[in-house]
Copies of this chain bind each other. A is one copy, B any other.
Amino acid sequence: MFSKATEYALRATIYIAQKSSVDNKLSLTEIAQAIDSPPSFTAKILQLLTKENCVIHSVRGPNGGFYITEKNKLLPLKKILEAVNENDLFEKCILGLKKCSETNPCPLHFQYKPVKQELIHLFQTNTILELSEKADSESMFINNKL
């Protein structure tokens, strides 16, 4: 479904929302271990999340690291997708047709449409906070280790 980059972005952001605060920043190393992702690649993705949409924040130096503000926890998951440039994924034709539209639909267009809209809805309505709380309360581990 999603690219590795997007999966890491979602997992990392949820983990950061769970564990971080302005005075408890998380290091790249901790994040990558927790969400089971390659550290260096994760670094690039976290850079996107700090730059492109300012979903998360970062501070360099000792006791530096990544954190997310309470305000930004209220952002929808959609913002994470935007940051890693995978926001248009659900907009695309499922058969990969460039010209597929309401007036020139592909054979799956109208059946895929409601599914597509549920997906968009899911990522537009769910906030980072909500996801991180679920990850807490239902002891859903982001951790991916065997």
Using a CB–CB distance below 8 Å, which chain A residues touch chain B? 1-2, 4, 7-8, 10-11, 14, 89-90, 92, 94-99, 104-109, 111-112, 114-115, 118-119, 122, 126, 131-132, 134-135, 138, 140-142, 144, 146
Cβ-defined partner of A2 (8 Å) among B4, B11, B94, B146: B94
Instruction: Tell whether A107 pairs with B4 under 8 Å between CB atoms, given A98-B144, A115-B122, A146-B98.
Output: no
* CB neighbours of A119 from chain B (8 A): 115
Task: State A109–B139 Cα separation when bound (angstroms).
Answer: 13
Instruction: Tell whether A107 pairs with B94 under 8 Å between CB atoms, given A1-B89, A119-B115.
Output: no
Instruction: Tell whether A142 pairs with B97 under 8 Å between CB atoms, given A14-B107, A118-B118.
Output: yes
Task: State A71–B141 Cα separation when bound (angstroms).
Answer: 47
